[in-house]
Amino acid sequence: MTDLHRLSIREMTEGLKTAQFSSRELTQHYLDRIAKIDDRVQSYVTVTAEQALAQADAADHLLKSGTAGILTGVPIAHKDIFCTQGIRTSAGSKMLDNFISPYDATVVAKTKAAGLVTLGKVNMDEFAMGSTSESSFYGATKNPWNLEHVPGGSSGGSSAVVAADLAPIATGTDTGGSIRQPASFCGLTGLKPTYGRVSRFGMIAFASSLDQGGPMARSAEDCAYLMNTIAGHDAKDSTSVEKEVDDYVANLNATSVKGLRIGIPKQYFNVQGLDADVKARVEESLKKLEDMGAALVEVDLNMTEAYVPTYYLIAPAEASSNLSRYDGVRYGYRCENPTDILDLYKRSRSEGFGAEVQRRILIGTYALSAGYYDAYYVKAQKVRRLIQQDFLKAFENVDVIAAPSAPTTAYKIGANLSPTEMYLGDIYTLAVNLAGLPAINAPVGFDANQLPVGLQLIGNYWSESQLLSIVHQYQQNTDWHTKRAAIAEENI
Ligand code: GLN
């Protein structure tokens, strides 16, 4: 079979269970595609072919003996921020170019236990700081829809692998939009769960009060399968929440779009820099949901202007603390011939971290320093609470809130946005992390240059089932999620 990569996750599981193809065949098919296509997309940092085939054989054994789980034998790619035992975990940084984790992240352990086959580790912005994946030590990943454009970031390798059919599903992480924005730029579905739903254990920390892992795939249905595997409490992550996990697949039709109240924040659609095509496609998708029976209700989110400054204070502050562990002593990059311990710290960190990471460490350290702490960090935390309250108030009147995922479609590679220009591109995604809410991106069409546009739906706490269900029903009535980039159409 030459077109195994066109199957949905459900179709893949059915094909495996009924022995239409084996996991080895499926895995080899993806490995062949990676070998043929990925030199153009550059999504993988590490391909684990040998281990993948061994996992596939083990999966085939379980499938034959009738003891397989639902996803046994299905391939997956992991963002290179999730620790993988025995396989390099770089976080896109020179600092961790030589880092081989002695343990698996909980998310990775769960996918392994479920019988998923790890194809490899995919590219990302260095330490997940960025919106283009260009800050990676390994160079820029290309957008499969147009190789001159970025796939988004920071989970740009994850969006590119799925959009180019170099993996059927991928994990991503979202601290300020890094699942939703790359999903939007590559025409995919991506879910950022409620803070605490997916374990952060073994996920290299950027900003711990904002970081959350989640699924990236073509459809809500595919995302639901992966969520069933990775969600849940983990004693190894003190911020993971002890709350029963929904069956996201079983709930795909549980929420009725008929009668659903969708909040439209008045502040969001007048944002300076909102691209006209993005606005038009998002409005068309909302019209479609209205035709399906939803009611569009205007809501007020008065704190919109505070999102970017608040996030870009809190995230760097937490990053500066988290990244202090990379000191050249215990693991990671170490400079050559240090003269003393200070020289070791200084040069290991100056040589090991890229420009954007250094900028964030400087901003964060400044914001946390004695004398400025109250004026900046404490104040930002207070504003953060107001942003959360803004949402909770809106949710008194609506079920979900709609927004674009990003004000534009994918940037050109090398566009060289200034830091502030780049930060402003995160306007629609940051508040969700500051408030700890779940949100999903769904593809809703293309701009004039054939680059994908995404709709974001933001839900109240623990509403992942509802978000997946709404997008699933939208996808039953539209076909944007089935569109493939030319490079994904290439057979090998
Ligand atoms: N673009 C945002 C930043 O650079 C978000 C990144 C993320 O979610 N990891 O911080």
Closest ligand 1 atom to the C-alpha of 426?
1
The DSSP code for 336 is: S
User: Which pLDDT does position 188 carry in this prediction?
Assistant: 98
CA atoms within 13 A on the CB side of 174: 37
Average pLDDT over residues 151-164: 98
Confidence at 1, pLDDT banded by 50, 70, 90: low
Which residues, judged by CB distance below 6 Å to any ligand atom, belong to the binding site of ligand 1?
Answer: 128-131, 154, 174-178, 206, 315, 426
Using the mean position of ligand 1's atoms as its centre, give its distance from the Cα of residue 179 in Å. 9
Contact yes or no for 129/206 (Cβ under 8 A): yes
Phi, then psi, of 478 in degrees rounded to 5: -140, 170
Using the mean position of ligand 1's atoms as its centre, give its distance from the Cα of residue 423 in Å. 8
Amino acid at 160: A
Using the mean position of ligand 1's atoms as its centre, give its distance from the Cα of residue 25 in Å. 36
Closest ligand 1 atom to the C-alpha of 360?
10
154 flagged as catalytic: yes
Can you tell me the distance from the alpha carbon of 390 to that of 202, in angstroms, rounded to the nearest whole number?
A: 32
Average pLDDT, the chain: 97
Average pLDDT over residues 247-272: 96
Q: What is the DSSP string of 341-353?
A: HHHHHHHHHHHHS
User: Which pLDDT does position 146 carry in this prediction?
Assistant: 98
pLDDT tens, 348-396? Answer: 999 999 999 999 999 999 999 999 999 999 999 999 999 999 999 999 9
Using the mean position of ligand 1's atoms as its centre, give its distance from the Cα of residue 401 in Å. 21
User: Which pLDDT does position 375 carry in this prediction?
Assistant: 94
178 flagged as catalytic: yes
Contact yes or no for 481/223 (Cβ under 8 A): no
Instruction: Catalogue all structural domains in the chain, each as residue range(s) with its CATH number.
Output: 10-262+398-489 (3.90.1300.10)
Confidence at 9, pLDDT banded by 50, 70, 90: very high
The residue to mutate among 132, 133, 175, having the most atoms of ligand 1 within 8 angstroms of its beta carbon, is 175
**Which amino acid residue places its CA nearest to atom 5 of ligand 1?**
176
The answer to whether the pTM exceeds 0.95 is yes
User: Which pLDDT does position 173 carry in this prediction?
Assistant: 98
136 flagged as catalytic: no
Catalytic residue among 131, 154, 155, 184: 154
